[in-house]
Structure 1
Amino acid sequence: MSFFPKIRTTLSKGVILPSLLFIVGISLLAAVLPSQTNQLLNSIKNFIFINLNGVYVWSVTAFILFLIYLMFSKYGTIKLGSNNSKPEYSFFSWISMLFAAGMGIGLMYFSVAEPIQHFSNEAFSEHTVVQRARDAQMYTFFHWGIHAWAIYAIVGLALSYFAYRYKLPLSLRSCFYPLLKDRIKGKWGNTIDVFALCSTFFGITTTLGFGVVQINSGLQQLGIVPENNFIYQILIVAVLVSLSIISAVSGLDKGVKLLSSINIIAVVILLLFVLILGPTVYLIGSFTEGIGHYITNFFNLTFNTHAFDEKTQPWFYDWTILYWAWWISWSPYVGLFIAKISKGRTIKEYIAAVLLLPTLFNFIWMSVFGNSAIWFDMHIANGALSAIASNPDVLMFKFLDYLPLSQITSFLTILIIIIFFVTSADSGMYVMNSIATKNAKISPKWQTIGWGILLATLSLLLLNAGGLAALQSMTLITALPFSIIMLLFIISLIKALTIDQKYYDTDFSSTTITWSGDTWKERLKQIVSFDDKQTVHEFIDTTVKKAFEDLEAEFAKNNIDAKINRYDHPYKLEIEIKHDLINNFIYGVKTESKIVADYLLAEDNLPDVDSNKTFYPMSYFGDQRQGYDVHIFTKNELISDVLKHYERFIEIISENKNEMFVSSNTNHKLR
């Protein structure tokens, strides 16, 4: 009898053990040797950013082009689920949740800091003040707009499509099914999930760490805490992670959904406050102009690597490439969360909503806060905000001091950051548990609590030791291989969507048009039979040959010279009517083979198949059109089919407009 009760778990050893070893190992290294680890990882990151930045630029471009193509293609109507599935969440709840998970704390942290930093950056010091203000808005739009959401959208689309359409686990390994097939269940699949789990954990840990510092700075500004130090950060983490665990344990339908809806309302209130009490006319005008500036320069921004302007290249590496790497590193987490809440949406609806709606809101938000800050800096603050551009933790709160009711708005800002913190953390716990359990439907609550404790512990450990920067560099490094993985997602989606569309577009075989119910028993035998090569040859030598001979004789009675041609390599028989001025009419039947799916060999309740290679008689035509399997034709039905094609041939050659097309002296090349 054991004194220790057996602990129930749904964790996959092949995923959780290597993931924890790597996560804890890197975190301890960053905590014990923060400067050395940061120096090493930073040098690797810089090498990638400088020498391999093209991978990021072209990858993100490919994501956007692919998504736009899908949205307007025939695949856009395909649902992320069965054809009759319905969305699980209302449109408002859906948008609120994906927005909160996708940007969250970053919007509060960078809405003032980024435009001010672009505006005051030495790389653009030669530009006029007006040009710097305009470009600051444009670059902020660029980094927080369609490009960022295209990265998230690719991962979320691949996950939701294969999970809900193919009935595979909601796991990154499932996105490789068209390429790896059942190998996704083994080591290949585990490797993919380990990568996703580590990338997700590092991304959330660093973001939450920076969020804690900003909350501490805000509380200091309000006078609630006397200083920004580690003791208060411990208290903040303890309270917020506890709230996150409670929210995560209550489930997406309650915790995340409720908090996301509350936060969207709070965000809109703060947005309207700044818009109305700030430089309103300037903000409306600058937003309108900014949209036009962004659209006009969209392709230039997308492909610009600053290769001809060495002065701005460091800025390009530190901002654009860092952002692409950051969004890519976050995409396993955000993509999994978006996929979880997107079941039942069509591909077109999914892409349009995920790309455009959060982007539009981001543009409005960044315009209101960023342009207000720049306007205050130029007209009221006399450069005071630019002077503290290097301290983004306090920039938002210093900016609010130039507006009425700054104490109240600062408190509201902290509340929004806290809710973003909680929604990011609890959805992160859910996603990490989903990856670590291979998407187990029901997991014990202690696992969710465990992820929360691990997040809190390592975040505080790194905050205290100054190792967050090293972990951030590690996160950005992982983005390079994952960008390649995401390109493979596109290949998988193309293969799967092509099969999907063909499945539903496939109509009844052309050979079934003439069927009646008179010989239904014989038809059934033909349908469930898979022939070998000899059987197909016998069909050609008997049924096909007899049909062509009857046709040859009947054509002769109508003064038409028809000829039967027989070939051995490949084995085929054809009836040909030669012409001098136009292409010959040819209808033939040849032996073809195809590979039968492996599952058909093992399935008891399907036709018996002895080999995974089967043969069938396929029609072909003189004008090289696509033929079809004719093994279920009787002799008379085959004669009827030949005459249908001959009638089509006569109809085409009788029209003057087809003269150049049908006139040819290359009949000998048609076979």
Structure 2
Amino acid sequence: MNKVTRVFYISLAISILFIAWGLISEDVLPDWNLDAVTSLIQGFLVTRFGWFYLLVTTGFLIFAIFLIVSKYGNIVLGKDGDKPDYNYLTWFGMLFSAGMGIGLVFWGAAEPIWHLFDPPYTSGSDSQAARVAMQYSFFHWGFHPWAVYATLALSLAYFQFRKGEPGLISSTLKPLYGNKMNGGFGTVINVIAVFATVFGVATSLGLGAQQIASGLDFISGSITNNIGTQLVIILIVTILYMLSALTGLNRGIKYLSTTNIVLAILLMFFLLFTGPTNFIMNFFTTTLGSYISNLPEMSFRMAPFNENNASWLQGWTIFYWAWWIAWAPFVGMFIARVSRGRTVREFVVGVLLVPTLFGALWFSVFGGSAISLQLNDGIDIYKVMNEAGSEAALFTVLENFPLSTIMSVLAILLISTFFITSADSATFVLGMQTTNGSLNPDIKVKVVWGVVQSGTAAVLLWQGGLTALQTASIIAAFPFAIIMIMVVFSLMKAFKEEAKIYSLKRQKRN
């Protein structure tokens, strides 16, 4: 591990300290345990700075749209003449799997039902509440999160592949701060990125373990969804994703990502055509239109005159925006790594449009089926979620359609492959961030981060502290949002300088 940097040691020490803190019982430190402290800080941030998260995330979307139509759209993320390393299907599969694969499966049926019974504002009827519920599900998983990812990933890919800089967050700020990024300032920025990545991914691994256990409980009836089952699942999946990590990017992650997309499409289209097809497609079309037409209003909505609506926004929209920013170092670095050879315009359109449309269709199929069962067929999914958790919503929906056992098995396979791909991608990204941007991090480094991720998820599942871990990651999003604002200005400065050089070359030729 001779290539590791001080970012590795500092980040590893912080990770171990946080795990140790998470193990301290509430009885020992009633006011200073991890859950209490992080909840207090997060509550302050979302209450006092919710407007900041909202404006920043919307700003990234405006910036991404500007890049599509700007004169910088033809800049290649690589040297002139470089071709993409992966075809479109593999590329979409990779960025989608790393971006929000487990989340979509976990929340696809559950989130619209939560919004149906706890809407963002008062609705006059069940049908109106259903439309608003789906519209906000589109909103939370649509253009905004992918604009956050696209902004950082584009900057990382540009500086790494076109300018030859190391694939680090600090490298994207060199146009603004020069060689200061090679010192302590750069180290702080990279440690924040590693912190957000470790705890964000560990939380997702915990959520994935809960949902796999829920699915096994549903199918078998004899496997109980408890902490013991979840820990065994984490152990098995850890072994699988470490094997995948050892095979490298072009084998493990590439094949798993393609498998993810195929399984996801199979599951989605099966439910689409065995479920209430007309209802789903009408719901999709209507909601897509209302999402696009209401996008500006939703993007800036804060509800200053209604405390209940403001509380809803803090618990859902502001929480999501902070969560996506916390995930940006991990997803951004991974998307950048697999996007060499794309143009700026091709990259931004691909990252924004394709996952957003797929996610909208996914929510329409699973959330639409759930809402149809709830409102039209008397299946109380809301009650199931309150009793067994959000992870049970997916299997409750599948249970009410043909070949439910086969589809549930397919769903568990899909969650497992998303689980493995996300963890595999994270070990690669953490390896990059802690070895000065190496495109092929040392296997030992990846193993260390793999163990840290799984160990963190297992320990905090055991202690019931996943919420504290998630909250800690979101707290890291606040300073990282400021870093991302600087990244935007740095990228624009680099683009303008490149445009000047190109203009001078053209004048000389003429």
Q: Taking structure 2 as the reference length, what is the TM-score of the superposition?
A: 0.96
Q: Does 1:277 align with 2:274?
A: yes
- 2:229 maps to 232
Equivalent residue in structure 2 for 1:152, among 145, 149, 154:
149
Q: What is the CA-CA distance between 1:389 and the residue it aligns to?
A: 3.5
Matches within 5 A, 1:269-308: 269-308=266-305
Equivalent residue in structure 1 for 2:211, among 208, 211, 214:
214
Ranges in structure 1 where 5+ consecutive residues have no aligned partner: 1-7, 514-671
Give the Cα separation in 1 of the matches to 2:416 and 2:507: 61
Give the Cα separation in 2 of the matches to 1:403 and 1:252: 37
Equivalent residue in structure 1 for 2:78, among 72, 81, 92:
81
Matches within 5 A, 1:619-634: none
Matches within 5 A, 1:340-359: 340-359=337-356
The C-alpha deviation readout for 1:379-421, integer Å capped at 9, x for no partner, is 1135x11223432021111111111111111111000000000
Give the Cα separation in 1 of the matches to 2:378 and 2:61: 39
Equivalent residue in structure 1 for 2:444, among 443, 446, 456:
446
The C-alpha deviation readout for 1:135-190, integer Å capped at 9, x for no partner, is 01100000000011001111101100111111100110111010111121111111
The 3-state SS of whatever aligns with 2:35 is helix
- 1:69 maps to 66
- 2:19 maps to 27
Q: Does 1:97 align with 2:90?
A: no
Give the Cα separation in 2 of the matches to 1:319 and 1:207: 17
Give the Cα separation in 2 of the matches to 1:63 and 1:240: 35
Q: Are residues 167 and 229 of structure 1, via their aligned partners in 2, closer, same or farther at CA, if it must alter by over 3 Å?
A: same
Equivalent residue in structure 2 for 1:369, among 363, 366, 369:
366
Give the Cα separation in 1 of the matches to 2:398 and 2:86: 35
Matches within 5 A, 1:176-215: 176-215=173-212
- 2:487 maps to 489
Q: Are residues 443 and 103 of structure 1, via their aligned partners in 2, closer, same or farther at CA, if it must alter by over 3 Å?
A: closer
Give the letter for the 1:23 counterpart: S
Q: What is the CA-CA distance between 1:446 and the residue it aligns to?
A: 2.1
Give the letter for the 1:213 counterpart: Q
The 3-state SS of whatever aligns with 2:223 is coil
> Which protein is bigger by CA-based radius of gyration?
1
Matches within 5 A, 1:126-141: 126-141=123-138
Give the letter for the 2:314 counterpart: Y
Equivalent residue in structure 1 for 2:3, among 10, 20, 27:
10
Matches within 5 A, 1:488-567: 488-507=486-505
Q: What is the CA-CA distance between 1:301 and the residue it aligns to?
A: 0.5
The 3-state SS of whatever aligns with 1:167 is coil
Give the Cα separation in 1 of the matches to 2:441 and 2:284: 47
Q: Percent identity?
A: 37
Higher mean Cα deviation, 229-238 or 285-294? 229-238
Q: What is the CA-CA distance between 1:9 and the residue it aligns to?
A: 2.8
Higher helix share: 2
- 1:403 maps to 401
Aligned residues: 503
Q: What is the CA-CA distance between 1:441 and the residue it aligns to?
A: 4.2
Give the Cα separation in 2 of the matches to 1:193 and 1:224: 46
Give the Cα separation in 1 of the matches to 2:439 and 2:208: 31
- 2:420 maps to 422
Q: Are residues 362 and 126 of structure 1, via their aligned partners in 2, closer, same or farther at CA, if it must alter by over 3 Å?
A: closer
- 2:470 maps to 472
Give the Cα separation in 2 of the matches to 1:212 and 1:404: 26
Give the Cα separation in 1 of the matches to 2:37 and 2:348: 39
Q: Are residues 497 and 225 of structure 1, via their aligned partners in 2, closer, same or farther at CA, if it must alter by over 3 Å?
A: farther
Q: Taking structure 1 as the reference length, what is the TM-score of the superposition?
A: 0.73
Q: What is the CA-CA distance between 1:231 and the residue it aligns to?
A: 2.2
Q: What is the CA-CA distance between 1:440 and the residue it aligns to?
A: 2.5
- 2:260 maps to 263
Q: Does 1:309 align with 2:306?
A: yes
Give the letter for the 2:240 counterpart: L
Conserved 8 A contact 1:155-1:331: yes
Equivalent residue in structure 1 for 2:315, among 313, 318, 321:
318
Q: What is the CA-CA distance between 1:67 and the residue it aligns to?
A: 1.0
Ranges in structure 2 where 5+ consecutive residues have no aligned partner: none
Q: Does 1:338 align with 2:338?
A: no
Give the Cα separation in 2 of the matches to 1:124 and 1:376: 23
Give the Cα separation in 2 of the matches to 1:309 and 1:99: 36
Conserved 8 A contact 1:30-1:467: yes
Give the Cα separation in 2 of the matches to 1:103 and 1:374: 22
Q: Does 1:432 align with 2:430?
A: yes
Give the letter for the 1:158 counterpart: S
The 3-state SS of whatever aligns with 2:297 is helix
Conserved 8 A contact 1:200-1:333: yes
Give the letter for the 2:59 counterpart: A
Higher mean Cα deviation, 53-62 or 132-141? 53-62
**Taking CA–CA contacts closer than 8 Å with sequence separation of 6 or more, which of the two structures ends up with the larger relative contact order?**
2
Q: Does 1:118 align with 2:115?
A: yes
Conserved 8 A contact 2:427-2:446: yes
Give the Cα separation in 2 of the matches to 1:85 and 1:265: 28
Q: Are residues 298 and 126 of structure 1, via their aligned partners in 2, closer, same or farther at CA, if it must alter by over 3 Å?
A: closer
Give the letter for the 2:15 counterpart: I
Give the Cα separation in 1 of the matches to 2:439 and 2:475: 32
Conserved 8 A contact 2:138-2:363: yes
The 3-state SS of whatever aligns with 2:437 is coil
Give the letter for the 1:156 counterpart: A
Q: Are residues 11 and 122 of structure 1, via their aligned partners in 2, closer, same or farther at CA, if it must alter by over 3 Å?
A: same
Give the Cα separation in 2 of the matches to 1:127 and 1:106: 30
The C-alpha deviation readout for 1:236-281, integer Å capped at 9, x for no partner, is 1111111101111111110111011011111111111111011111
Q: What is the CA-CA distance between 1:126 and the residue it aligns to?
A: 5.0
Q: Does 1:388 align with 2:388?
A: no
Q: Are residues 286 and 207 of structure 1, via their aligned partners in 2, closer, same or farther at CA, if it must alter by over 3 Å?
A: same
Q: What is the CA-CA distance between 1:309 and the residue it aligns to?
A: 2.5
Give the Cα separation in 2 of the matches to 1:56 and 1:388: 33
Q: What is the CA-CA distance between 1:124 and the residue it aligns to?
A: 4.6
Higher mean Cα deviation, 311-320 or 413-422? 311-320
- 1:329 maps to 326
